[in-house]
Structure 1
């Protein structure tokens, strides 16, 4: 079996040469074939993705905001993306409860299929798994806010997009005034306050490639509580841990905060 090909983009202004070499050796030690072109600074990332992206199966980058913002503009959400906490990113990643070191992230990569390795957000906390929330290929609103707001930004937290490789979402609303069920391939949820959400869904077969426009979404409003599950049933990932069962329950507090509470995991409030 041919090794999975990864594109490794670690800007020299962000990641020290020693760390770059250690990452390369660690990936190669687990049998990954890598392409690691010279990347001097984060603004070089889009051009390097255009040049090498079609020949690889996954992307590995640093987790600094400049690099992430560059990736968001071009990397499709249906392709794996792994962020590594390196050098000056360590404090940021610690605040976000991302793995404290890149070695742990690579171990997680080794344990997963290339088809299920991606990065995303649960609430405002990054994780590695097959369920992707909010970080890979977000809607334009979230991308526009990226440079102007920190990771802890309420605007970033309140715009969550869910996508699942080769899956669909089942969304059920069972509030006193609304009872309905919808199935969608991709979903964006925004908190409106007063226990209400604005939802947008996209039923395209795949995420658009770079340069392709997004299909028009279906938009509607809903009241808490919402229940979100993968359809057909499949394991969910939460903060890098695989959960054997869903569904996910989405509640809303009087203040504009969101809870994602898988049944087997203590709720994590976005605050």
Structure 2
């Protein structure tokens, strides 16, 4: 129970990596608030979380700053504190650079970078009060420069830059800010693997550990580490939870 009585917000927590992290944290005693626009999946995940802890789902559109303030206010009203902020939600389109329109770029920044930024700003005083943790998300798309990922890579690298600045500015407040760069077998990846089995196997073959990560057991366990006191002396770091696909130097 490494997270007993901790309160955590996880954006995009209804499914995939988000729900995997939520379950891993709830099983460690955290009260998890999952925020998502998908109410059906959100309610399903909320029901699973409640088997382990006093958790809840908030149906919220985090592309609006005012909605973010309302979400954080609801969390404080319900639980009275905040210990962990996980900025996981992000939507983007895969197109070549020459076809990347302002709308494509805006989609990535408005669902990924800006919500991360606004949640960090809004949650700062509450995290300062608890000497809390921020977990943001990076991507191999930005670190390696994947083709057709201009908007996603740009937003993810912007999040990395923001996180390093926050780690320096907020370190004196006892707030740790780190990032996870994952590879995981999410429902979306699983669908793709069935439609394009050869391409999927080719991707797995390039992973040194020769397997895809599990959202709960692999990504979720690292999120638990970053949310717990075990990571008190770790900040400003990008943890590659990708089976060794990218080895930072």
Give the TM-score normalised by the residue count of structure 2.
0.36
Larger Rg: 1
Tell me: higher relative CO, structure 1 or 2? Use CA pairs within 8 A at least 6 residues apart.
Answer: 2
More strand by percentage: 1
Give the TM-score normalised by the residue count of structure 1.
0.33
